[in-house]
Chains A and B, each alone.
Chain A
Amino acid sequence: MKETAQPELGPAGHHRRLDLELVVSYTLISGVFLSLGLIVVGILIGSLHGQGLSVLDYTLPRLDLYHLTAFEAIRLLHGQLTARDVIDIGVITLMATPFVRVLLSWLFFAFVERNGKYTVITGFVLAVLTIALALRLAG
């Protein structure tokens, strides 16, 4: 009779298996909810300060995603966040969501599944995205 490997059991005796589909799914849905929530909170903060929807009358800073993230992080550390900063952080979170999804997939293929082919393929996607997020294609 063929023996099948027993799934690893966690502390409470529940089956524990790192499942890429679940990790990716939760990453995506969490990222979307968090980003939308931050955007709505930013609008509410603006409304509380009497700005109403005019809080949205601006163009996001002409920065690549890394510099924009650093910019908002500095403002956060200095306690200088405004309603627009919260909205910007919401947009950053939204953009980070698929990036984190790719990163987690790469880690999974490299260290859990140990799939060389998909470590390379996912690594390529991750590398291109990492570069793309720093690119300035306009003059």
Chain B
Amino acid sequence: MLTLFIFLISLAGGAIGAMSGQGGGVVIIPFLTLVMHVDVKTAIAASVVSVIATSSGSAAAYVRDRISNIKIGMYLEMFTIVGALVGAAITIRVGGNWIYIMFGLVLIGSLIALWLKPDHGEVFNLKQDRLSHFLELEGEYHDRAADQPIHYRATRAALGGPAMFGAGMVAGMLGIGAGSLKVLIHDLIMEMPPKVSTSTSNFIIGVTALAATSAYLAAGWVRADIAVPIILGVTLGSRWGARLMIRMSNAAVRKFFMVILAVLGAQMLLRGVGVL
């Protein structure tokens, strides 16, 4: 019964995650811990395994369409995987209350980031510093909406890389993709075009999650009755959510998700400080 319920929650979480571009973990983990009273570390370990599945599935399409930039992704992965290992080590060692507080802060932070999200419009950066040029952080993709090739250059590699260490740490610590944080770094620091930013973030998330998953597996925290329904549910739900998203307006999706982030973020914080 528990397994079936987790599968249904994961279906919904996957759909919501796909619609908002945030991933299912930010919804599923709070639900497992607050409603179903699953231990938060067990929930994180299960969720991070599922992140590999959803990330790899969606990244396959973006890479094939050459929207994800493999070189940018590989460079940033140098930082995210180390960050993820550090994050997983922190989760293994600290008390559960700190995890709740951290999770709540990340959800509230994601809410603020969504609210303040800058609109770059159709301006694509073509300036680049020396390091970014040396690292060949540029590319081109065919934008189907505009029906034209888009050439772009990422910049500030020296700042973007270390910032991704932080994103990797959050991902590893909380069992989520931390895609919103990664996209913010891509957008604001490295000035990547929105589609390249999102798709490259997706590409990076799977390897980042692998680093954390291995730590939790060796710690004996991966429960099949929780991980398997999440893996299957989120993978299916995200495909369903992607189709639903096409029919909804961006504003509606954004408002809906902001409400979810606010509610869950507040609850996780309150649980962390012992009020709930």
Contact = CB atoms under 8 A, between A and B. Distances in A.
Interface of A: 20-22, 24-26, 28-29, 31-32, 35-36, 39-40, 43, 53, 56-65, 68, 84, 87, 91, 94-95, 97-99, 101-102, 105, 117-118, 121-122, 124-125, 128-129, 132-133, 135-138
A125 B77 CA distance: 7
A128 B81 contact: yes
B70 A31 contact: no
A74 to B, nearest CB: 18
Contact of A137 (B63, B71, B206, B215): B215
B217 A28 contact: no
A97 B224 contact: no
B210 A60 contact: no
Contact of A21 (B63, B217, B218, B222): B63
Q: Is the interface of B mostly helix, strand, loop or mixed?
A: helix
Contact of B59 (A28, A35, A40): A28
A102 B89 CA distance: 23
Q: Is the interface of A mostly helix, strand, loop or mixed?
A: helix
Contact of A64 (B3, B218, B232): B218
Contacts of B117: none
6 contacts: A24-B60, A39-B228, A39-B232, A95-B49, A118-B136, A137-B215
B181 to A, nearest CB: 19
A129 B3 contact: no
Given A40-B232, A94-B49, A95-B213, A135 B218 contact: yes
Given A25-B61, A32-B235, A35-B53, A132 B224 contact: no
From A56, A63, A99, residue with most partner B Cβ within 10 Å: A56
Contacts of A101: 56, 206-207
Contact of B214 (A43, A56, A84, A95): A95
Interface string B145-169: 0000000000000000000000000
A25 B60 contact: yes
Interface in B249-275: none
Given A118-B71, A121-B75, A129-B211, A58 B224 contact: yes
